[in-house]
Amino acid sequence: MRQILRFALLSTALALATAASAQQKAGDADAAHRNKIAMCIGCHGIPGYRTAFPEVYHVPKIAGQQPGYIVAALKAYKAGERSHPSMRGVAASLSEQDMADLAAYYGAPAK
């Protein structure tokens, strides 16, 4: 199980690093910020999406969620208080400012 978790976390980190690197090379100053926003959309932006790792799990939509809740959830994942391995890996890569930015973006009312 640890090998699977390690593989999943490394795969996620590699994918994020590759995407961020490619965007930064394009010379776009906001690329890193957009990449962080995009990594959430991959799971949380798909209606009815369910993960297959580590078990079948319904992924909630986060658009429109209260910003304070998003920040609290991300901090809990980063601290190990919440246990979903993919989310723990993602949250571990985020600064407090990243968390606040993501919460502001996803917590904003739909336009």
pLDDT tens for 47-84 read 888 887 767 888 988 999 999 999 999 999 999 999 88
94: confidence class by pLDDT, cuts 50, 70, 90: very high
Q: Decide: residue 91, CB within 10 A, 0-12 exposed, 13-18 middle, 19+ buried.
A: buried
Report the pLDDT value the prediction gives residue 18, as an integer from 0 to 100: 54
17: confidence class by pLDDT, cuts 50, 70, 90: low
Which superfamily is assigned to 2-107 in CATH?
Cytochrome c-like domain (1.10.760.10)
Report the pLDDT value the prediction gives residue 23, as an integer from 0 to 100: 46
Report the distance separating Cα 40 and Cα 107, nearest Å: 13
Domain ranges of the chain: 2-107
In this prediction the pTM is: 0.67
Q: Report the chain's mean pLDDT, rounded to a whole number.
A: 79
